[in-house]
Amino acid sequence: MDDFQSGEETAFVVDEVTNIIKEAVEGSIGGNAYQHNKVNQWTSSVVEQCLNQLTKLSKPFKYIVTCVIMQKNGAGLHTASSCYWDNQTDGSCTVRWENKTMYCIVSVFGLAI
């Protein structure tokens, strides 16, 4: 998604959000192998951490965070999303992370209030 920096603090900055997501994912599942009994905790923790960091930015935004963790078993996956919003101020960001046993896809949508 495009980010236009119209107004100093009231636009969706993709790079910043990407970093937040990467840190949240690394912190929660970096270095772990897929374990079905723990995935529950991991997805919750990723989403919560992302959201906490995003709210700390104190920007006038509504955030939607989704996290998908898929075990590497040979299955294929395809997802798509689109939005109808104000392209100047709203934006989204998706981070795909993987290790040897699983994929993790986190999407953050930010809608200006």
Chain residues that interact with other proteins, rule: CB under 8 A: 1, 31, 60, 70, 72-88, 90, 92, 94, 96, 99-100, 103, 105, 107, 113
Quick one: 45 or 71, whose CB is closer to other proteins? 71
Chain centre to alpha carbon of residue 107: 4
Q: CB of 103: closest distance to other proteins in angstroms?
A: 6
Q: Which of 35, 72, 55 is nearest to 108 (CA)?
A: 55
Q: Quote the CA–CA distance of 94 and 103 in Å, as a whole number.
A: 13
Q: CB of 53: closest distance to other proteins in angstroms?
A: 20
Residues contacting 25, CB < 8 A, separation 6+? 46, 95, 97, 104, 106
Q: Which DSSP category does 89 fall into? A: T
Please give the helix or strand (H or E) that residue 44 lies within, else none: helix 36-56
Q: CB of 3: closest distance to other proteins in angstroms?
A: 12
Q: CB of 44: closest distance to other proteins in angstroms?
A: 21
- Residue matched to tokens 């951490």: 49
Quick one: 19 or 94, whose CB is closer to other proteins? 94
Quick one: 27 or 72, whose CB is closer to other proteins? 72
Quick one: 16 or 70, whose CB is closer to other proteins? 70
